[in-house]
Amino acid sequence: MTKILLADPDPRSRGDLQTLLRTRGFDLDAANDVAAAIAPVAEGDVDLVLCDTALPGGGGMALLQQIRELQADTAVVLLSAFGSVQDAVQAMQHGAADFLGKPFAPDQVLVAVERALEKAALRKENHALRAALDDRLRLDNVVGSDPRMQAIFKTVKAVADTRTTVLITGESGTGKTLLARALHALSHRRNGPFVEVNCGALPETLLESELFGHVKGSFTGAVRDKTGKFEAASGGTIFLDEIGTSSPAFQVKLLRVVQDRLVERIGDTKTIPVDVRIVLATNKNLERAVAAGEFREDLYYRINVVSVEMPPLRERPGDIPVLAEHFLRRFAAIHGRPEMQFEPSAVAALLAAPWPGNVRQLENVIERAVVLGKGPDIGQDDLPTLLPTRIGAATTAPAREPLVAANAPLAPLRDALAHAERAIIERALAHCGGNREKAAKLLAINRSTLFHKLRRHSIH
Ligand SMILES: Nc1ncnc2c1ncn2[C@@H]1O[C@H](COP(=O)(O)OP(=O)(O)OP(=O)(O)O)[C@@H](O)[C@H]1O
Ligand SMILES: [Mg+2]
């Protein structure tokens, strides 16, 4: 039975509440001061506390804070005969479910109690979800309940302790870098270095000297000997990111290391053996690059021994609530707001979003909601960048974020435009509840054009 604790020093007010709530079938208990109220709460058998702000022994606000620390699942409704707006705001900020000014009408109390109990049930559900984030769903900080992610975890665990080269592919923000780190952390090389090189960010000549090192005087600017990253990573893991854009000449050099684990510093003839595990990542389709003659076939086969494809977030919707909860816990802790939780409307909005920026975008959306959120509950309104209404607003007001993220990979214009078009159509459809006629109107295109585009983008 649902148990309500009445923490009210005034016997008359307590009596009224008792009469009212007993008729609704609640199990009731009473307390005269903060200490007497804390005891049953600490034991975990109270679902809701109705608490007067003038409670002896510290006051209702102090009781509220103690309850929040002790039993976050217990709901608290504050009652006050002299309540000001500031008090109410403060109470809500500290996680009260509601704040009622005395005297109150019976209906008011009943509504507040029902609502608070509903919220408490939601909180419990959230805790259950959190508990589900146990080892089965994660691999060294990588969260994923989707079967494809589970299969990836299995592969990573199986090969972690070998020196096998691992290729990680997937769209930007799907967790390639995170997985590479996890692989290193799970291997017996974990105490050795993890050296990351972004091969797409450096001009060719610099990249070579960065990776292989050089000897003094080998080229203009080589004023002293330099150890390359391969040597520096010896005993550990080297992570070569954005491997898909490298030149054929560079690919030949890479092939040599991948095959023989031997490097030569630029300008030197001495070969140096390196004991490294090589992990590579790309958001390009290498098979297609090989077919187009942009990527050496022999290198592709060498690095494609164990390959892992990170699925885009939109293809694993089951991971969205799990990841959202993971990020909520992380950012709530960082920003000192442990009370925060999602309302069902927020979870629905998260599930409906297309996530072109994948997990990175989700992470940013949640952090923003934690930082800017007013109360403990995150609702749909706290996720403004996901609200589909922005499409309609975009024609009159400037968009709040660029359509193409600054860090989005550079793709052929045609592909990039197609990607953006798809995202816009999906948002329009979501905004119109899947109604194609309305979506076409919103996008100011005729219906047959929309149907044509839906087919082309395989949107069903
Ligand atoms: N499965 C996951 N569990 C927890 N956090 C994740 C997961 N996947 C990604 N992240 C987080 O999302 C962000 C983006 O991930 P990451 O940098 O690994 O993506 P990426 O695929 O390497 O992107 P890029 O191609 O742009 O380099 C990181 O902050 C990472 O910690
Ligand atoms: Mg990365």
- Mind spelling out the 3-state secondary structure of the chain? CCEEEEECCCHHHHHHHHHHHHCCCCEEEEECCHHHHHHHHHCCCCCEEEEECCCCCCCHHHHHHHHHHHCCCCEEEEEECCCCHHHHHHHHHCCCCEEEECCCCHHHHHHHHHHHHHHHHHHHHHHHHHHHCCHHHEECCEECCCHHHHHHHHHHHHHCCCCCCEEEECCCCCCHHHHHHHHHHHCCCCCCCEEEEECCCCCHHHHHHHHHEECCCCCCCCCCCEECHHHHCCCCEEEEECHHHCCHHHHHHHHHHHHHCEEECECCCCEEECCCEEEEEECCCHHHHHHCCCCCHHHHHHHCCEEEECCCHHHCCCHHHHHHHHHHHHHHHHCCCCCCEECHHHHHHHHHCCCCCHHHHHHHHHHHHHHHCCCCEECHHHCHHHCCCHHHHHCCCCCCCCCCCCCCCCCCHHHHHHHHHHHHHHHHHHHCCCCHHHHHHHCCCCHHHHHHHHHHCCCC
Ligand 1 centre to CA of 174 (Å) is: 5
Least confident of 21-35, 79-93, 149-163, 232-246: 79-93
Q: Is the CB of 177 under 6 A from ligand 1?
A: yes
Q: Are residues 175 and 301 in the same domain?
A: yes
Q: Are residues 41 and 109 in the same domain?
A: yes
Ligand lying closest to the C-alpha of residue 240? 2
Q: What is the CATH number of the domain that holds 326?
A: 1.10.8.60
Q: Is the CB of 168 under 6 A from ligand 1?
A: no
Q: Is the CB of 172 under 6 A from ligand 1?
A: yes
- Mutate-to-test residue for ligand 1 from 359, 363, 366, highest number of ligand atoms within 8 A of CB: 359
Ligand 2 centre to CA of 243 (Å) is: 11
Ligand lying closest to the C-alpha of residue 169? 1
Give yes or no for residue 417 having a pLDDT over 80: no
Integer Cα distance of 233 and 163 in angstroms: 13
Tell me, what's the pLDDT at 134? 55
424 in a domain, yes or no?
yes
Give yes or no for residue 387 having a pLDDT over 70: no
Q: Are residues 326 and 362 in the same domain?
A: yes
Give yes or no for residue 61 having a pLDDT over 90: yes
If you take atom 10 of ligand 1, which residue's CA is the nearest one? Answer: 175
Using one digit for the tens of pLDDT, what is the confidence trace for 334-381?
Answer: 888 888 999 989 999 999 999 999 999 999 999 999 999 888 899 998
Pick 73 or 194 by higher pLDDT. 194
Q: Are residues 24 and 118 in the same domain?
A: yes
Q: Are residues 335 and 261 in the same domain?
A: no
Q: What is the mean pLDDT of residues 32-38?
A: 93
Query: Are residues 176 and 281 in contact, defined by beta-carbon separation less than 8 angstroms?
Result: yes
- Mutate-to-test residue for ligand 1 from 148, 150, 178, highest number of ligand atoms within 8 A of CB: 178
Question: Highest mean pLDDT: which of 93-97, 100-104, 195-199?
Answer: 195-199
If you take atom 13 of ligand 1, which residue's CA is the nearest one? Answer: 360
282 in a domain, yes or no?
yes
Q: What is the CATH number of the domain that holds 10?
A: 3.40.50.2300
Residue 3: pLDDT band by 50, 70, 90 thresholds? Answer: very high
The ligand 1 atom at the shortest distance from the C-alpha of residue 178 is 18
Give yes or no for residue 158 having a pLDDT over 80: yes
Which of 311, 338, 354 represents a domain boundary (last residue)? 311
Q: Is the CB of 156 under 6 A from ligand 1?
A: no
138 in a domain, yes or no?
no
Least confident of 31-35, 228-232, 299-303, 413-417: 413-417
Q: What is the CATH number of the domain that holds 212?
A: 3.40.50.300
Ligand 1 centre to CA of 20 (Å) is: 53
Tell me, what's the pLDDT at 43? 87
Q: Are residues 299 and 350 in the same domain?
A: no
Tell me, what's the pLDDT at 393? 37
Give residues whose Cβ lies within 5 Å of ion ligand 2.
176-177
Least confident of 146-150, 156-160, 185-189, 244-248: 244-248
Give yes or no for residue 34 having a pLDDT over 90: yes
Q: What is the mean pLDDT of residues 201-208?
A: 86
pTM of the model as a whole:
0.65
Instruction: Return mean pLDDT, the chain.
Output: 87
137 in a domain, yes or no?
no
Ligand 1 centre to CA of 363 (Å) is: 9
27 in a domain, yes or no?
yes
Residue 396: pLDDT band by 50, 70, 90 thresholds? Answer: very low
Ligand 2 centre to CA of 209 (Å) is: 22
Q: Is the CB of 244 under 6 A from ligand 1?
A: no
Q: Are residues 67 and 174 in the same domain?
A: no
189 in a domain, yes or no?
yes
170 in a domain, yes or no?
yes
Q: Are residues 362 and 427 in the same domain?
A: yes
Residue 460: pLDDT band by 50, 70, 90 thresholds? Answer: confident
Q: What is the mean pLDDT of residues 310-324?
A: 95
Q: Are residues 270 and 374 in the same domain?
A: no
Q: Are residues 184 and 259 in the same domain?
A: yes
Q: What percent of the chain has pLDDT over 70?
A: 91
Tell me, what's the pLDDT at 136? 60
Give yes or no for residue 280 having a pLDDT over 50: yes
Which of 311, 333, 363 represents a domain boundary (last residue)? 311
How many domains in the chain? 3
Q: Are residues 148 and 271 in the same domain?
A: yes
Residue 399: pLDDT band by 50, 70, 90 thresholds? Answer: very low
Q: Are residues 176 and 284 in the same domain?
A: yes
Tell me, what's the pLDDT at 395? 36
Tell me, what's the pLDDT at 72? 79
Give yes or no for residue 146 having a pLDDT over 60: yes
Tell me, what's the pLDDT at 391? 41
Domain with 53, as residue range(s), is 3-132
139 in a domain, yes or no?
no
- Mutate-to-test residue for ligand 1 from 240, 330, 363, 364, highest number of ligand atoms within 8 A of CB: 363
Q: Is the CB of 357 under 6 A from ligand 1?
A: no
Which of 132, 164, 194 represents a domain boundary (last residue)? 132
If you take atom 25 of ligand 1, which residue's CA is the nearest one? Answer: 172
